[in-house]
Chains A and B, each alone.
Chain A
Amino acid sequence: MLESSAFAAVGLTLKLAFLTSLLLMLLVTPLAWKLATWQHKLKPVFMSVLALPLVLPPTVLGFYLLVAFSPQSPVGEGWQWLTGHQLAFSFEGLVIGSFIYSLPFALQPLYSGFTQLDKRYVEVAHSLGFGKIETFFRIILPLCKAPFIVAFGLSFAHTIGEFGVVLMIGGNIPGETQVLSIALYEHVEALEYGQAHALSFGLLLFSFLLLTLLYRFNGKGGQAWSSISR
């Protein structure tokens, strides 16, 4: 029933969502930790900037990314110099776009998780001679398991449903930038409602399962959390 291009789109979407979420966890975790302990009068300004992708309409964000990705702009020029090919209409471009688009969804759960973490655990760990990395893996990660799972899950789900940004910077190339939401949109606009319904149903079912798992983890983690910290 589904065309082969639909499977390519599903595979590409999962790859994009996974890579984006992984990158977000790697880069946003230190940022969230820093922010959770940082005290400065400019902190609200900084936090607002990081939350802006929530506010900006995705197509507008996508348009500015398109401008930034242009070989005439410093970003696009630098990328071309580094890699030899252009950033717009490439999978790498989509990862960068999705990273910015989903950043608040990774940052917020981690930030609130870290601010609620009783810092005495970390202090005790340090006083017992734990290094920074050891403290992270043996103290922070187990204590903040729930925020980590929520942050990863939310960025993953948010990237799967991403449309506006990809539409603007992707160029709809099958197998390269034609993700599920774009394929879905194409079917709807071309009045191929049968294909569209099949894809939407699959997307909804998958997202529903993912979110249910997420809330289940969140609920469990939340309980475990309160029993640990008291």
Chain B
Amino acid sequence: MAVGAKILTCSRIIPACLSTRVGKPKVSAGTFLSVVFFTLSFACNAAVSNTYLDSDNDSANYGKAVPILSSPLQVAVAANFAKPLRNIANDYFKKSGQEVSVTVSSSGTLFAQLTHGAQFDVFLSADTARPNALVEAGRVNAEDVHVYAKGRLAFLSSNTTASTPNFTAASLAGKKLAIANPKLAPYGNAAKQYLVNTNQWNIVSPHIVMGKNVLQTYQFFTTGNADYALVAYSLTLTDKQINEAGGRNTSGRAAAALLIPDTLHQPILQSLAVTAAADRKAAASAFARYLLSLEVQENLPNWGYQPANDSLPISVDSRIRENKEVNNSDTRGLP
């Protein structure tokens, strides 16, 4: 585990090589050197990987059918899913021996990099539009695109007694509501839909500040600059301080997080695309299959996401009802 984590950290250097590779001729000296370097470093780690396989034989069925790549699998992920993915990647490494290197950025940036030659093997977008755009551009096949998770929206308030938001001009005077940019971020779009559907958009819009993505929006709230925020529910769950200190966020400020019913906005579907080159595609598809497997999917509610497949009985809402102690303030205002 510790070795795996170390390798993951080291391999985060790769995006730097990748970004310099964009738009250049196929094999530059730098690319060649980095390939040699990473092949060497992972040849050295092969022995370590094997011991994991031996000790974990019963669950090592993901790596068996596919060859393990000598260099780590390059997975590009939208910021909101970075934390779950790092954990999933770590588990995957333990089970299959396949290293996974995680590159975190916004879906838009990753998409632009992909369409300009970046060599990611799997692309986990925060929306369905960008993976579908890759299909339209002929970059990937339609069968290589799958919904891997459904996001949920949460309302954050610096007022611990807040219930479901019901804004009035008076209650908002001098206050700010942070949402992600609806044009750029699916969670921002969902937040806008929610405010429109509950007839609050016109009241709220003069008080809105926009973050470029849901993480930055969350920062506006945790630093105390915005009084309210609509962000990904997963963020409020993975912020340990909210959970452990009983309704306090990173800055130590009193805060409450409420799950917004998913009937009040269109579903926030997050899609992945297998973007690997032919020689790496088997390994990349295997990782995508692992992401879509029951084992991973039924754990998603712990990270604040709904499974991609509706037939799985577990939802974020039911998870909250089961574990009320996880975050007491989350249950208020729920049906």
Q: Which residues in A have some Cβ–Cβ distance to B below 8 Å?
A: 63, 66-67, 69-73, 76, 85-86, 88-89, 167-168, 171-173, 185-186, 188-191
The winner among B108, B208, B223, B224 for most chain A CB atoms within 10 A is B223
The answer to whether A70 and B223 touch across the interface, beta carbons within 8 angstroms, is yes
A171-B108 in contact (CB<8A): no
The answer on a CB contact under 8 Å between B176 and A86 is yes
Cβ of B174 under 8 Å from chain A = yes
Docked Cα-Cα span, A86 to B226, in Å, equals: 10
Indicate if the CB atoms of A71 and B212 lie closer than 8 Å. no
Interface string of B178-197 (1 = CB under 8 A from A): 10010110000000000000
B225: which of A69, A173, A186 is its contact (CB, 8 Å)?
A69
Of the A-B pairs whose beta carbons lie under 8 Å apart in the complex, a sample of 12, sorted by A's number, is A63-B223, A66-B220, A69-B225, A72-B224, A86-B225, A167-B216, A172-B209, A172-B212, A189-B184, A190-B108, A190-B183, A191-B108
* Chain A residues with CB below 8 A from B225, complex form: 66, 69-71, 76, 86, 88-89
List the A side residues contacting B106 at CB < 8 Å: 189
Tell me, rounded to whole Å, the shortest Cβ–Cβ distance linking B31 to chain A: 26
User: B112 an interface residue at 8 Å Cβ cutoff?
Assistant: yes
What's the Cα separation between A21 and B224 when bound, in Å?
29
How many whole Å from B240's CB to the nearest CB in chain A? 19
Asked, given contacts A70-B225, A185-B212, A189-B108, whether A171 binds B220 with beta carbons under 8 Å apart, the answer is yes
From residue A80, how far is it (CB to closest CB) to chain B in Å?
9
Contact status B176-A89, CB under 8 Å: yes
B181 interface neighbour in A69, A89, A172, Cβ under 8 Å: A172
Which residue from A69, A85, A186, A190 sits with its C-beta under 8 Å from B174?
Answer: A85
Q: Contact between A190 and B212 (Cβ–Cβ < 8 Å)?
A: no
B184–A173 CB distance below 8 A: no
A89 in complex: contacting residue of B183, B209, B212, CB < 8 Å:
B209
Interface residues of B (CB under 8 A from A): 106, 108-109, 111-112, 133, 174, 176, 178, 181, 183-184, 208-212, 216, 219-220, 223-226, 251, 253
Asked whether, in the complex, the Cβ of B184 is within 8 Å of the Cβ of A186, the reply is yes
Given contacts A171-B210, A173-B210, A186-B181, 19 further A-B contacts (CB under 8 A): A66-B220, A66-B225, A67-B223, A70-B224, A71-B225, A72-B251, A73-B224, A76-B225, A85-B174, A88-B220, A167-B212, A168-B216, A168-B219, A171-B176, A171-B211, A171-B226, A173-B209, A188-B112, A190-B183
Total cross-chain contacts (CB, 8 A): 68
How far is the CB of A69 from the nearest CB of chain B, in Å? 6
The list of the 5 closest CB pairs from A to B, nearest first, reads: A171-B209, A189-B108, A70-B224, A88-B225, A172-B210
> Which residue on B lies nearest to A84, using beta carbons?
B174
Instruction: Please give, as numbers and ranges, the residues of chain A lying within 8 Å of B178 by CB-CB distance.
Output: 171
Q: Is the CB of B209 within 8 A of A66?
A: no
Structural contact, B224 and A71, CB atoms closer than 8 A = yes
CB contacts (< 8 Å) of B133 on chain A: these are 191
Complex Cα distance, B258 from A193, in Å, reads 37
Instruction: Return A165 CB to nearest CB of chain B, in Å.
Output: 13
- CA distance in complex: A69, B251 (Å): 13
B330 to chain A, nearest CB (A): 24
Per the bound structure, the CA–CA distance linking A171 and B212 in Å amounts to 8
- Expressed in whole angstroms, the Cα–Cα distance for A226 and B251 within the complex equals 56
A169 closest partner in B (C-beta): B225
The answer for the CA separation of A173 and B184 in the assembled complex, in Å, is 15
- Interfacial chain A residues near B220, Cβ < 8 Å: 66, 88, 171
Query: Inside 8 A of A173's CB, which chain B residues have their CB?
Result: 208-210
**Complex contacts, A185 vs chain B, CB 8 Å:** 212
Q: Which of B181, B226, B253 contacts A72 (CB 8 A)?
A: B253
A180 CB, nearest partner CB in chain B, Å: 15
> Cβ of B176 and Cβ of A189 under 8 Å apart?
no
- Measured in the bound complex, the distance between the Cα atoms of B211 and A172 in whole Å is 7
The residue of chain A having its C-beta at the shortest distance from the C-beta of B209 within the complex is A171
A172 contacts which chain B residues (CB < 8 A)?
A: 181, 209-212
* Most-contacted residue by chain B among A66, A69, A76 (CB, 10 A): A66
Chain B proximity of A183: nearest CB distance (Å): 11
Residues of A within 8 A of B253 (CB): 72
Residues of A within 8 A of B209 (CB): 89, 171-173
Shortest B332–chain A CB gap in Å is 24
Contacts of A85 in B (CB 8 A): 174
Q: Are B224 and A189 in contact (CB under 8 A)?
A: no
- Could you tell me the distance in whole angstroms from the C-beta of B178 to the nearest C-beta in chain A? 7
CB distance from A45 to the nearest CB of B (A): 29
Shortest beta-carbon distance from A104 to chain B in Å: 25
A89–B223 CA distance with the chains assembled, in angstroms: 13
Chain A residues with CB under 8 A of B210: 171-173
